[in-house]
Amino acid sequence: MVLRTNIDAKILIQLLYQMKRIRAVEETIAERYNEWKMRCPTHLCTGQEAVSAGVCAVLRKDDFVVSTHRAHGHYLAKGGDLKRMIAEIYGKAAGCSSGKGGSMHLIDKSVGFMGSTSIVGGTIPVGTGLGFSILLNGTDQISCVFFGDGATEEGVFYESINFAILKKLPVLYICENNLYSVYSPLCVRQPAERSISKMVSSLGIASDSGDGNDATEVYTKVINAVEHIRQGKGPFLLEFATYRWREHCGPNFDNDIGYRTEEEYLCWKKKDPIMLLENEMKNRDVFNPGEVQRVDSLIESEVHEAFSFAESSPFPSQDEAFIQLFKE
Amino acid sequence: MARNLQFGKAINEALFIAMEKEHKIITFGLGVDDPKRIFGTTAGLKEKFGSYRVFDMPVSENAMTGIAIGASLNGIRPVMTHQRLDFFLLTMDQLVNNAAKWHYMFGGKSSVPITIRLILGRGWGQGPQHSQSLQSWFAHIPGLKVVMPATAYDAKGLLLSAIFDDNPVIYLEHRWLHNLEGEVPEGDYRVPIGKANVLKTGNDLTIVSLSYMTIEALHAIEILEKQGVHCELIDLRTVNPIDWETIFKSVGKTGRLIALDTATETLSIAGEIVAKVSMEMFGKLKGAPTRIALPDFPTPTSPSLTDKYYKRAEDIVHTAGKMLGRKLDVQEILDSRKSPHDVPGDWFKGPF
């Protein structure tokens, strides 16, 4: 069992940097969305950065990741190309999916990010299949699947987990439980007393849960899960409680439309994952204000550069819509 | 060297050749290694290639399609099998939203080289949930290739092409063809996807057919020829993409078209063929083209209800007569029938 107090200061800085970078990207998208240049739905993960950062800090570059409609954080933390992601959201030819996918369909195979898709639960079996391919190929990679609480209501979730257990697949299932599926709260979708991680453990999968706003807790729990998987003991599911600050889809805050309360939002905002980690670093005396400032300005210029790149890149020609139906 | 082989055995041979050639090919599906071996089509595979590559699966059609997709993204080539097409409907999400879109929606960065064998059929009381011919559903989705062999030769050659194709291919095999014998070369050969086959040449009428209906068409053509009517028979082989060039060329010659289908009539592949030919070749047509398909009803179970429901060679002859303004005789077909209408032949004793 890895203890959070054993985490190297370098890792803490890495986690902080990663979360700040994701935050800056998401908030810049929110800030500029109304310019009408990003003409596709975007699902921002502001507030949920700790899961992306904590999970991907443990994964190797050659491990696989698949994700959902809310994938920006996962993509960036896994090492996906920021410029190509923003260009994709702008619908440009230089986008990671050549302008055919948009915010919900990100890919960067060079870092093992194998794709994100927009149907709830849709990548759960795909990530499981990647795990199966690892088994067949005899390599020691891991396949990691990110999904939300809503996806655990889909049949394909149970079908996939059943197969993963049956074949002892090297799959890490990460459930980001942010309490909402669009505007439907968990209480209208699942019984109040349920714990997703406990429920699935009765299927036979090793599982655990934790505070998804606490990056070091995420990190330590993923270290343990990944060790379990790499030892050939089969799949592992981790459920992390977290919260999205902004609306389901789009750049705004939506606490006023009646499906959740301002109080609830403020309560979660007090658990800002970036602030929590900074406090922890201060407690451990590894917080260096000068260093953090330096990182902040690096991030600012990197994000600025990515948006400039996206804005100045050309659109694909209209004929591009009519190619790539099949691989030739 | 060419020799005669049954359609089902040709499928089995294709699987052996493919799996021997490429160790990344796996075969799975409910019953793939059970005692019946998918009507014998997967016989011997597990013994030869082991249970890592040939295996039975959980009753989880949707997930297993997604798993095939995921595995294919990392170099595996899965061949998945369902004993009835109808069960595969549980997997439309993974098929339509993922398999069909993956290559396009990621700008060509990945592709999904999976093959899905679906068995369809008719007769013997298969009823509403065991006999559906939903090829137009699949063919309607951009990004899916859909093939429907009618001969043993094509069964093998098209399956090999499907397995080695870098895209998702739906391989629809008709149960009534499994025991049909035909010339099948040994070794690896490929029937190109997207190319129709002109099985008969003639100047009076073009029949465009697919899958089992091609066999009914061959019976009809034999009788028509004796009465001086010479049909051109185009076996489509692939319903997505359709080989329009071959169809247009034939209709340009004959000016008449009957399109056959194993599916219900409305919005069928046959309907698409009639539509496209009408649009593109209106000036060359000597009369209205037509289609022969099933009524727009679920398939009933009782043999007394399927008697008129399924279409056969005599329906083709009648329709040809109507188009040509001649009364044609079907008695010879009726007299030649040795088995009831709801079985493919004397050999068939049920149950499925």
Q: Inspect the interface and report whether the beta carbons of B66 and A163 lie closer than 8 Å.
A: no
B77 forms beta bridges with B25
End-to-end CA distance of chain B: 33
Active site residue B174: no
Mutation pick from A98, A107, A133, A154 vs chain B, by most beta carbons of B within 10 Å, is A133
Question: Residue A153, exposed/middle/buried by CB under 10 A (0-12, 13-18, 19+)?
Answer: middle
pLDDT at B134 over 70: yes
Indicate left, alpha or beta for A112 from its phi (over 0: left) and psi (-120 to 50: alpha). left
List B23, B82, B103, B130, catalytic entry: B130
- pLDDT score for A6: 84
User: CA nearest A117 in B: which residue?
Assistant: B98
Question: Residue B3, exposed/middle/buried by CB under 10 A (0-12, 13-18, 19+)?
Answer: exposed
Question: What ipTM was predicted for this assembly?
Answer: 0.96
- pLDDT score for B345: 82
User: CA nearest B77 in A: which residue?
Assistant: A133
B219-257 pLDDT tens trace: 999 999 999 999 999 999 999 999 999 999 999 999 999
Among candidates B69, B71, B103 on the partner chain, residue whose Cβ is nearest the Cβ of A324: B103
Can you tell me the distance from the alpha carbon of B202 to that of B199, in angstroms, rounded to the nearest whole number?
A: 10
Q: Which residues of B touch A129 (CB under 8 A)?
A: 66-73
pLDDT at B1 over 70: no
Give average pLDDT by consecutive 10-residue segment, chain A, 328 residues: 83 97 98 97 98 98 98 98 98 98 98 98 98 98 98 98 98 98 96 96 98 98 98 98 97 95 97 97 94 96 98 98 96
- pLDDT score for A154: 98
Among candidates B93, B109, B167 on the partner chain, residue whose Cβ is nearest the Cβ of A109: B109
- pLDDT score for B326: 93
What are A's interface residues with B at a Cβ cutoff of 8 A? Answer: 64, 66, 95-101, 105, 107, 109, 114-115, 117, 119, 122-134, 136-137, 143, 155-156, 159-160, 162-163, 166, 323-327
- pLDDT score for B338: 84
Q: Inspect the interface and report whether the beta carbons of A159 and B60 lie closer than 8 Å.
A: yes
DSSP-derived secondary structure letter, A109: G
Q: Inspect the interface and report whether the beta carbons of A109 and B60 lie closer than 8 Å.
A: no
Q: Which of B160-169, B187-196, B299-308 has the lowest mean pLDDT?
A: B299-308
- pLDDT score for B234: 98
Query: Where do the domains of chain A lie, and which CATH numbers do they carry?
Result: 9-243+250-313 (3.40.50.970)
What are B's interface residues with A at a Cβ cutoff of 8 A? Answer: 24, 26, 52-53, 57-58, 60, 62-76, 93-94, 97-98, 102-111, 113, 142-143, 145, 166-167
The token duo for A119 is: 């149907």
B148-158 pLDDT tens trace: 999 999 999 99
Can you tell me the distance from the alpha carbon of A293 to that of B183, in angstroms, rounded to the nearest whole number?
A: 76
- pLDDT score for A302: 98
Among candidates B66, B75, B167 on the partner chain, residue whose Cβ is nearest the Cβ of A327: B167
- pLDDT score for B290: 98
Q: What is the pTM of this model?
A: 0.96
Q: Inspect the interface and report whether the beta carbons of A98 and B107 lie closer than 8 Å.
A: yes
